[in-house]
């Protein structure tokens, strides 16, 4: 029953992606981590302009499965089980992708490491950050404009900040309050190797 629901959820998420790009001989998997408001979605969008990868944005995917999300542990577990299945499905089809999610704990990132390892895929890890005052301004602006897919506010940022764990593997770090081009260039080079 659980496996059937995961497969059904993953299929719904896949359908929500629309037209998919052409498969590649050697797909690449980029996993982006960071607190709300640090600029993950902005960074992923700039990266996808240069690499033409599919972006799996956890906030948007959550709304596909849960139109009125409650952000409970059960909801997040169901979402990420489906997302992990979708990642595997897309990579097996030869499609490169960028996962845009908080991915704050090493335990959560372990799933991503195992998927890449099991499929023999290149995994590029990116930690996105920004100074707290910049994040506060972005989150306030986001709530006013109501253009974001995320419901996270400053309170959520502060709560989540304590759960951030260091990424133990080699990764790129980017401060989105600064020029992101040098890091984009490095990731594009690594993805193209």
Would you kindly state where each structural domain of the chain is located, as residue ranges? 2-16+26-192
Mean pLDDT score of the chain, rounded to an integer? 92
pLDDT at site 1: 63
pLDDT at site 162: 87
Topology (CATH level 3) of domain 2-16+26-192: Rossmann fold (3.40.50)
What does the block give as tokens for 79?
Answer: 């979402």
pLDDT at site 149: 65
- How many other C-beta atoms are found inside a 10 Å radius of the C-beta of residue 3? 9
pLDDT at site 131: 96
pLDDT at site 148: 59
**What residues of the chain score a pLDDT lower than 70?**
1, 145-150
Q: Are 167 and 126 in contact (CB under 8 A)?
A: no
pLDDT at site 71: 84
Q: Are 18 and 87 in contact (CB under 8 A)?
A: no
pLDDT at site 130: 96
pLDDT at site 147: 57
Residues forming beta bridges with residue 28, ordered by sequence position:
122
Its pTM stands at 0.92
**Sheet order of strands, 97-100 included:** 54-57, 97-100, 28-33, 122-129, 172-175
């Amino acid at each position: 029953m659980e496996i059937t629901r995961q497969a059904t959820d993953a299929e719904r998420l896949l359908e929500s992606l629309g037209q998919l790009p052409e498969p590649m001989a050697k797909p690449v998997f980029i996993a982006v981590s960071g607190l709300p408001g640090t600029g993950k979605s902005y960074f992923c969008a700039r990266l996808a302009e240069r690499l033409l990868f599919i972006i799996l944005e956890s906030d948007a995917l959550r709304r596909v499965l849960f139109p009125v999300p409650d952000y409970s542990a059960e909801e997040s577990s169901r979402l990420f089980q489906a997302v992990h299945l979708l990642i595997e499905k897309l990579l097996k089809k030869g499609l490169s992708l960028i996962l845009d999610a908080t991915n704050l704990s090493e335990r959560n990132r372990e799933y991503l490491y195992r998927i890449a390892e099991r499929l023999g895929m290149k995994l590029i890890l990116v930690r996105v950050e920004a100074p707290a005052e910049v994040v506060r301004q972005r989150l306030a602006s986001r709530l006013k404009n109501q253009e974001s897919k995320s419901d996270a506010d400053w309170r959520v940022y502060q709560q989540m900040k304590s759960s951030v764990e260091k990424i133990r593997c080699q990764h790129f770090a980017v401060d989105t309050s600064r020029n992101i081009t040098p890091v984009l260039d490095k990731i594009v080079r690594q993805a193209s190797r």
